[in-house]
Structure 1
Amino acid sequence: MSEYRVTGLSTSVIAELVAEVEPLWHEQHQASLTARQRRRAVGAGAKHRFVFADRLLATLVSLRHGTTHDVLACWFGVDRSTVTRAIGEVRPLLAQRGCTVAPDVRLRTLAEVVEYLGGDGRAGIIDGTEIRVRRRAAGRKDRDKFVSGKTRQNAVKTMVLTSADGRVLFCSPVRPGSCADITQARHLGLSQLLADGPFTEILADAGYQGMGAQTGGRVVTPPHRKFKKNAPDWYEQRHELQRKAHSSRRIRVEHGIAHLKNRRALARHHGRREHMSDIVQAVSGLLSHQQAATLDTAMRT
């Protein structure tokens, strides 16, 4: 179960996760026990057969392959409800970890990412990506709210911010698929953070046009067309070269999104939409942790 092909993580990263998350889970579990009225003392009664390491592995396999809880219950020899409860407890703890950029540096908020990029004059790349979800039942309020204007499918949207080399630095909480990319960035306060924070260049696609003027040129989007009709040949060639140069610089964010979508939980989600923000942030944190560990190993060798 701890194979890289099963979890998407190396054994060293899994060991670090166990050491970091297990105390948090035990603290959370003890708090839930003491919060309610009890007839027996805390710790009395049957002990867990489903230990924390197995709970973590079940969560990692679920995020990596989208394995059903019934199958995981058969693998671990427990009831399906036990697996569902375990994943529901461990997944938020993974989502709270943030994205790892170095063994001692972790980014949890968009403000920390902007400060990290501006501190050393690094460039960042942003883009929005959609994750298909189940359609809401007929008669529910705002049933069409999750329909994407681009794909015409029910989806939720998250904003991904990567470094210039494609390493994932931040994934935002999800919003309904009808939300525009630039609207989501504004709701996250990106314009204000860039305008008030240290200077850093953020590459974006045409969906973010207009943010450059709001941030003093910090958000760089593809060049506008000055000639809509009867453009001279020299202008067409120059405009195409400029667009290709911009696309070549920001292609790394597409690679980062592809690595995220390799996790089946983000390819298409069949469960509750309420869990999508935790799933996105948990996957981005795990991916960045593995990327940082791989880079650290490469530098040592």
Structure 2
Amino acid sequence: MGAGAKHRLVFVDRLLATLVHLRHATTHDVLACWFGVDRSTITRAIGEVRPLLAKLGCTVSPGVRRRTLAEVVDHLGGKTGIIGGTEIRVRRPAAGRKDRDTFVSGKSRQNAVKAMVVTDADGRVLFCSPTKPGSCADITHARQLGLVKLLADGPTVEVLADAGCQGLGAQTGGRVVTPPHRKFKKNAPDCYEEMYERQRKAHSSRCIRVEHGVARLKNWRALARHLGRREHISDTVQAVAVLLSHQQTAELIPSRQV
């Protein structure tokens, strides 16, 4: 403590610069002009404040934060949660690197990273995971986060997921609910087609809330497309999720009547 160069910006200014950078993707050069400092000062400030925001944890209720997926599952005990994956485009690794194809997404065929987002039934963000390369499947990402073990050993929770997580339901005793499997690929009876479409639309109408939460995350320009270093994207995604969850919780508190 106390070592290194002294800060030319007080903590409030460093925090403000980080918030503007995350919300509007303002470049470090522009922020340096606004605050009247060198570009390296802004880079240092954002590099220090962004991890602090990422470690705070999402706000699940006024004054209550949850940092890990296990804590979020305990919070959802007896309630319904929705899990969904989202992709964020990143720069392609340099030619010659052995992991150059690791970030190519099988869905969008673009270089991207993936994050798993958990929301409640109303679409409020409760958890956002660290990112994985775009080639990682959604079901693999969920397993690596320990979701199967948490649901099998934890409280009774209903988790809605899309077709990318089909197979988790059998591993969690039916606690992960995915769209119904299609039993007939050809020559399906008319009655089955109607029933299948009705069940699929009913499930989709419940899962759409997580897409609303993801859309609110993507409204932050820093997540529209990441142009910085890929090693910083996890902190960026989680910091935005922390700020968004706090904003969504603050909107639930009724304003004081004058």
| TM-score category, normalised to shorter length | over 0.9
Residues 141 and 32 of structure 1, relative CA distance in 2, 3 Å threshold: farther
**Compared CA separation, residues 32 and 194, structure 1 to 2 (3 A):** farther
Q: Residue 40 of structure 2: which of 70, 77, 81 is its match?
A: 81
The within-5 A match list for 1:41-52 is 48-52=7-11
Give CA-to-partner distance per residue, 1:121-180, whole Å, 9 cap, x none: 110000110000000000112110000011111000000000000000000000000000
TM-score (norm 1): 0.83
Summarize the Cα distance change of 1:135–1:283 in structure 2 as closer, same or farther, 3 Å threshold.
Answer: same
SS in 1 for 2:82: strand
Shift of the 153–47 alpha-carbon distance from structure 1 to 2, 3 Å rule, reads closer
Calculate the TM-score normalised by the size of structure 2.
Answer: 0.97
Q: Which segments of structure 1 move beyond 2 Å, counting only runs of 4 or more? A: 46-49
Cα distance in 2, alignment partners of residues 297 and 88 from structure 1: 35
Q: Secondary structure at the match of 2:130?
A: coil
1:208 aligns with 2:179: no
Higher relative helix content? 1
Q: Displacement, 1:104?
A: 2.4
Cα offsets for 1:216-251 (capped at 9, x unmatched)? 000000001111111111110111000000000010
Residue of structure 2 equivalent to 1:103: 62
**For the residues of structure 1 that align with 2:94 and 2:184, how far apart are their CA atoms?**
47
Instruction: State the distance in 1 between where 2:97 and 2:41 align.
Output: 30
Among candidates 225, 244, 247, match of residue 287 of structure 1: 244
Percent of residue pairs identical: 78
Secondary structure of 2:102's partner?
helix
The within-5 A match list for 1:170-189 is 170-189=127-146
Alignment partner of 1:160 is 2:117 = yes
The amino acid of 2:84's aligned partner reads D
Q: Does 1:115 align with 2:74?
A: yes
1:297, distance to aligned residue in structure 2 (A): 2.9
2: CA distance, partners of 1:278 / 1:255 = 21
Please give the alpha-carbon distance, in whole angstroms, between the structure 1 residues aligned to 2:134 and 2:79. Answer: 30
Helix, strand or coil for the counterpart of 2:254? helix
Q: How does 1:11-160 map to 2 (within 5 A)?
A: 31=1, 33=3, 48-118=7-77, 121-160=78-117
Q: Which residue of 2 aligns with 1:169?
A: 126
The 3 A distance-change label for structure 1 pair 47 and 231 is closer
Matched, 1:198 2:141: no
Q: In the aligned structure 1, how far is the partner of 2:71 from the partner of 2:202?
A: 29
RMSD, matched Cα: 1.3
- Structure 2 match to 1:22: none
What is the aligned partner in structure 2 of residue 229 from structure 1? 186
Partner of 1:217: 174
Alpha-carbon distance in 1 for matches of 2:207, 2:2 = 45
Aligned amino acid, residue 200 of structure 2: R
Shift in Å, 1:32: 5.9
SS at match of 1:144: coil
Match of 2:221 among 264, 276, 283: 264
Are 2:180 and 1:243 equivalent residues in the alignment?
no
Q: Distance in 2 between matches of 1:281 and 1:32?
A: 28
Q: Which runs of 5+ in 2 are unaligned?
A: none
Number of aligned positions between the proteins: 257
SS of corresponding position for 1:290? helix
- Match for 1:261: what amino acid? K
In structure 1, distance between residues paired with 2:248 and 2:162? 25
